[in-house]
Structure 1
Amino acid sequence: MARLPYLEKSDLRPEDQDLLKREITLHKALVNNPGAARAFGTLGQYIRHGSKLDPRLRELAILQVGWLARSPYEWSHHVKIGYDFGVTDEDIEAVKAESRGEASALEPLARLVLRAAREVYAGPGIGYETFASLRAALDNESLVDLAMTASFYCAVVRVLASLEVDVEESYMPYLRKHPFPIQAG
């Protein structure tokens, strides 16, 4: 259950109602601070619509962070969004395999992107060897976009966990289709 109320457009000043163009629970929680919600949205929109990084690779990096964080919200949303950008069920299974240190059938660049996202998640950032390999395959803009994407989504999963944002029912099928492993108690 969320730690802050989910606000509606009617709860906001008219000049802030645009922050709920997408009425998802994350946005409804973030608008408890409209300035922070606007700043968050600006970078999120750049990553989604302005990034030079291949969209499928972008989504794989985001899924990698969501998987590592065991973030039901991030995982379910980006399984759905990933499908829109060419991510397949096989790709999603490969994220899980690569996370376990197992080889997958992903192409080398996708495997490298996942490794970079894991390194960003673990901190402090993309390692030297991984960066050098990425540099041989990506231009500078795409390299910056990959680092920004993985780093931003590390922050996103922590905001989601801190605010305990609920997964909307419409995204639950994606979580059921690709569940997290059961943790021994």
Structure 2
Amino acid sequence: MKESLGTVLDTVRKESGPLGQAENMPLTFARHPELLASWLPLMGFIAYGGALPSRMRELVIARTAWLGQSPLNWVTHIYPARHTKGGKEGGVYFTEDEVAQIIVGPSDEGWSPQDAALLAGVDQFYKLGDMDDETWKNLRENYDEKQIIELMYLVTNYRMVGDIVRTLRTDFGPDFPGLRQR
């Protein structure tokens, strides 16, 4: 398991840069090595691959982080995407305006219809565990079935991570920027 955890930390560092005490998240999860080993393949697939383009995937994760008030998810996705040359994952970069839009959500008038549909799906699925017919229709007009399924997996997974680290009182230290330094 130490090798697997090392691989996870290396991937986190590669994708997000040095995270300092944010690395306590995988260390916390490693307290249950069998569960961590079972979860890693799913996490790796939905976080770094899959059918959703990188920008769409990061929008889903960022909005989920905001809705759940998850400093870990926010800082490990928004912060690198704002502060690295070329953005995260070779091109995902959120401007200050986009970060403000992510916080407002799908009702912000600056979103394209495609982005607004995606974020409406995130909001409804996060809050209700379901989507109304209009949201589903808008998603189907802009995304294929695999992408919509991934949206639901991303929301569920990143909500779970935020809830677990909060509930287990994972220590990220006093210098962890979190949501206050959006």
Alignment TM-score > 0.5, same fold: yes
Amino acid at match of 1:87: F
Q: 3-state SS of the aligned residue for 1:166?
A: coil
- Give the match for residue 177 of structure 1: 181
- Give the match for residue 75 of structure 2: 76
What is the aligned counterpart of 1:110 among 103, 111, 115? Answer: 115
- Give the match for residue 138 of structure 1: 143
Q: 3-state SS of the aligned residue for 1:86?
A: coil
- Give the match for residue 96 of structure 1: 103
Q: 3-state SS of the aligned residue for 2:143?
A: coil
Deviation, structure 1 residue 81: 4.4
Unaligned segments of structure 2, at least 5 residues: 11-22, 82-86
What is the aligned counterpart of 2:166 among 158, 161, 164? Answer: 161
Asked whether the equivalents of residues 134 and 143 of structure 1 are also in contact (C-alpha less than 8 Å), the reply is yes
Cα distance change on mapping 1:59 and 1:169 into 2, 3 Å: farther
TM-score, normalised with respect to structure 2 = 0.78
Asked whether the equivalents of residues 63 and 102 of structure 2 are also in contact (C-alpha less than 8 Å), the reply is yes
CA–CA separation in structure 1 for the residues paired with 2:115 and 2:49: 20
Deviation, structure 1 residue 39: 2.1
- Give the match for residue 19 of structure 2: none
Q: 3-state SS of the aligned residue for 1:92?
A: helix
CA–CA separation in structure 1 for the residues paired with 2:95 and 2:3: 35
Deviation, structure 1 residue 34: 0.7
Aligned residues: 161
Amino acid at match of 2:48: H
Unaligned segments of structure 1, at least 5 residues: 1-14, 179-185
Asked whether the equivalents of residues 63 and 105 of structure 2 are also in contact (C-alpha less than 8 Å), the reply is no
Asked whether the equivalents of residues 52 and 145 of structure 1 are also in contact (C-alpha less than 8 Å), the reply is yes
CA–CA separation in structure 2 for the residues paired with 1:154 and 1:176: 19
CA–CA separation in structure 1 for the residues paired with 2:173 and 2:114: 33
Q: State which structure, 1 or 2, has the greater radius of gyration over its C-alpha atoms.
A: 1
**Identical columns (%):** 20
Asked whether the equivalents of residues 70 and 179 of structure 2 are also in contact (C-alpha less than 8 Å), the reply is no
Cα distance change on mapping 1:18 and 1:38 into 2, 3 Å: same
TM-score, normalised with respect to structure 1 = 0.77
Equivalences for 1:9-158 in 2 at 5 Å?
A: 15-21=1-7, 22=9, 24-82=23-81, 83-84=87-88, 85-98=92-105, 102-158=107-163
